[in-house]
Each structure stands twice: as C-alpha cells, then as structure tokens.
C-alpha cells in the first residue's frame, strides 16, 4: 500500500533507490552503501533475491532483506533491514541471468524498477530517486524505446495527459558542474540539435535548478560548439547565430550567463579547487555529451554524480556504468553512489527551503 507521508523534515529525506541492471554492480554498490549507513531512510525498488545475493557478495552479514508492500513500513525498519519494494513484471528467473553480461531480463527489470520508483515519487511517497546503473543495450533488448535513464525518466515523469517536460543532464562533483544541451544522440545529430531554443532552455533549467544546491544566482559559463568558440565565425558560425543570441536572451531574463567560451579552456576556468584555484563560474553549459562529461569524469569517477534537471522530482545517480568486469566480485566502490545520495538529500532540502 502507498500512503503519502507528511512533508519531509530537513533531516529526514525519503529515498527510492532503484536496483539498476541485475547483472551489473548496481545491487552490490547498494548493498555496500546500505551496510555503511547508520540511517539509510530508503526503500530499494528491485528483486529481493538479487539484493540478498549482493549482500552476500559484499559480506554485509549485518543486513537482511525484507519485502514490503506498505511504504510506511520501510521508514520504520532499523538500518540493518533493507526494505525492498518489488515492482510488478519482474522476470521470475532474473536471478539466473548471467552476471557480468548483457541480458534482456536485466533490461526488463531495470525499466520496471524505474517506472515503479517514478510512481512512488509522483504519489509523494518518496522525496527523491537515486538510480543504480543500467545497461543501455539490455534496455534496448527489452524493447524500451529510450536510450538511457534520462529519457525514460522524462517520459515517465510527465503528469497524465501532459507532454514530457524538457529535462537536462548534469554531471557534478565537488570541483565542477556541467549541464548538457544535447544528451544521448550521435555527434552529427547533436550538432543539429544545438538550436537557440535548446541553448536558452538549458540556461533556464540550469538557473532554476541551481537554487536546489544552494546557488540561487549561479554564474553560468557557456561553452562554444566549435574550436576556439568559432573565432568570430572563422571555424563555424553557431556561436554567432545561435549560442551568443541565446546567452543574450538569458541575460535579459536576469540569468547570469556568460560566453560563449572556447571549450578547451572553459572547464579549467570553472574548476573550483580552493584555495589555489577558485572557480570563475559555478556551472558550465556544454553543447554535447562528451564535451561536457569528459572534464568531470577526468577529475575522478568516485565523486561524480549524474543529476536530471527539470523533472518534477529529484533524481540522482552515480557517475559510472554497470562495470560488468567487477560484477559479482564484491569489490565495486560505492563512493559515487554515496555522493549521489548526498546530492539527492541536499536538493530535497533545497526544494523545501524554497517553498
């Protein structure tokens, strides 16, 4: 049963944690994180048998799994008991799916878990969703039309009868935050999708979301699309005809957007590593996937967090994939997952403070 609780206090954020790909490291990083938390205050959306196996792999002997059907029960259980909400439609033989390999059953289960977590968020039974990694190929094998988490969450998060809201992907760590204009598309298509409305929309979403992590007036740097930000049209005119006008429009709305700057230096300028290197900017808007994500990932995967901006609920995820080579070994590092949890809690509290 689902009973929306009273509004969450600033110190008590209710999380729905999705299992991710059952053949990857998702269940293990959840298990290891849970064993290290004194107060997880979360419900895991997934398969109880898969999660119980993961607890064995990481030697979390002090944690047991309990299947729950009433969300209120999840918040009353002690830290040593992991409440698992099993969504409808999970493959009955999911535990037989080969660990460390792409499997259609894992794709089906991952999608089902995401949809159930979204329902919990829409019904205000949880305050935020933290997703463990899924595998895009397994998702495709399961017949899902979405290339990844971001697009699936966007589609599922739309209120009934309404079109999906525009969303953007942000990758963040303690030193750098980047938001993408385009996401999971080929490079040729990404360039075509860099339009004035897309860039301006990204600036608006970034500005609005920044208040949730304590930056009500963020300094937003905008990367150019072309080398040297086009050199005044010498290496491409997108900066002159699209990106620059979008920045001007955003500034007219009171958004502190600056640029476009050369992509090969703007991320260094924005990197915040005090006291030696205070960042000039609070966040960088990048034009395409690898342009924005390489700099963040280069600084280290252990602190990176993936955040979907623009959803009607908070959603974060660790900055790594399913790591099939580590799956089943019990050695997967939960650090990025823990940072994703911390970011989700921070954003929920920021949303409460803004009410």
Residue 305 in any domain: the answer is no
223, β-bridge pairs: 261
Residue 304 in any domain: the answer is no
Selected residue with higher pLDDT from 259 and 2: 259
Q: How many whole angstroms separate alpha carbon 80 and alpha carbon 58?
A: 14
Answer yes or no: is pLDDT of 127 > 80: yes
Q: What is the CATH number of the domain that holds 341?
A: 3.40.718.10
Selected residue with higher pLDDT from 157 and 242: 242
Question: Do both 45 and 147 map to the same domain?
Answer: yes
Bridge-based pairing of strands 168-172 and 220-223 is unpaired
Residue 246 in any domain: the answer is yes
What's the pLDDT tens digit per position in 326-346? 999 999 999 999 999 999 999
Whole-number Cα distances in Å, 131 to 27, 124, 183, 277, 317: 11, 17, 18, 32, 5
What's the pLDDT tens digit per position in 281-337? 999 999 999 999 999 999 876 788 999 999 999 999 998 899 999 999 999 999 999
pLDDT confidence bin for 352, thresholds 50/70/90: confident
Residue 234 in any domain: the answer is yes
Q: What is the pLDDT of residue 11?
A: 53
Question: Do both 93 and 192 map to the same domain?
Answer: no
What's the pLDDT tens digit per position in 2-41? 444 444 554 589 999 999 999 999 999 999 999 999 889 9
Question: Do both 155 and 238 map to the same domain?
Answer: no
Q: How many whole angstroms separate alpha carbon 225 and alpha carbon 213?
A: 27
Domain end call among 276, 299, 322: 299
Q: What is the average per-residue pLDDT within 163-182?
A: 94
Question: Do both 266 and 340 map to the same domain?
Answer: no
Whole-number Cα distances in Å, 305 to 77, 197, 200, 353: 28, 26, 24, 22
pTM, entire model = 0.91
- Tell me what percent of the residues of the chain surpass a pLDDT of 70: 96
């Amino acid at each position: 049963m689902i009973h929306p609780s009273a509004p969450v206090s600033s110190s008590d954020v209710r999380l729905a944690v999705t299992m991710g790909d059952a053949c990857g490291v998702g269940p293990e990083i959840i298990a290891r994180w849970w064993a290290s938390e004194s107060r997880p205050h979360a419900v895991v959306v997934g398969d109880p048998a898969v999660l119980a196996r993961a607890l064995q792999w990481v030697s979390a002997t002090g944690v047991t799994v309990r299947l729950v059907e009433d969300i209120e029960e999840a918040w009353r259980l002690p830290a040593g008991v992991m409440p698992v909400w099993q969504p409808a439609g999970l493959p009955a033989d999911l535990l037989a799916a080969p660990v460390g390999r792409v499997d259609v059953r894992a794709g089906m289960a991952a999608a089902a878990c995401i949809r159930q977590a979204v329902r919990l968020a829409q019904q205000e039974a949880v305050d935020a969703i933290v997703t463990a990694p899924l595998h895009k190929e397994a998702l495709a094998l399961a017949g899902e039309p979405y290339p990844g988490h971001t697009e699936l969450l966007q589609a599922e998060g739309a209120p009934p009868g309404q079109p999906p809201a525009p969303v953007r992907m942000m990758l963040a760590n303690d030193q750098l935050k980047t938001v993408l204009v385009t996401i999971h598309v080929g490079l040729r298509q990404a360039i075509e999708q860099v339009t004035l409305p897309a860039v301006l929309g990204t600036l608006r979403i970034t500005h609005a979301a920044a208040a949730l992590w304590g930056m009500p007036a963020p300094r937003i740097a905008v990367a150019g699309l072309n080398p040297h930000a086009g050199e005044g049209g010498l290496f491409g005119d997108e900066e002159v005809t699209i990106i620059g006008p979008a920045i001007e429009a955003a500034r007219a709305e009171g958004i502190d957007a600056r640029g476009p700057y050369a992509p090969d230096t703007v991320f260094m300028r924005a990197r915040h590593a005090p006291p030696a290197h205070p960042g000039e900017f609070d966040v960088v808007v990048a034009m395409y996937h690898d342009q924005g994500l390489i700099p963040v990932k280069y600084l280290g995967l252990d602190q990176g967090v993936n955040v979907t901006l623009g959803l009607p609920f908070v959603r974060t995820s660790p900055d790594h994939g399913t790591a099939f080579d580590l799956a089943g070994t019990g050695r997967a590092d939960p650090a990025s997952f823990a940072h994703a949890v911390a970011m989700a809690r921070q954003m929920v509290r920021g949303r409460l403070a803004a009410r």
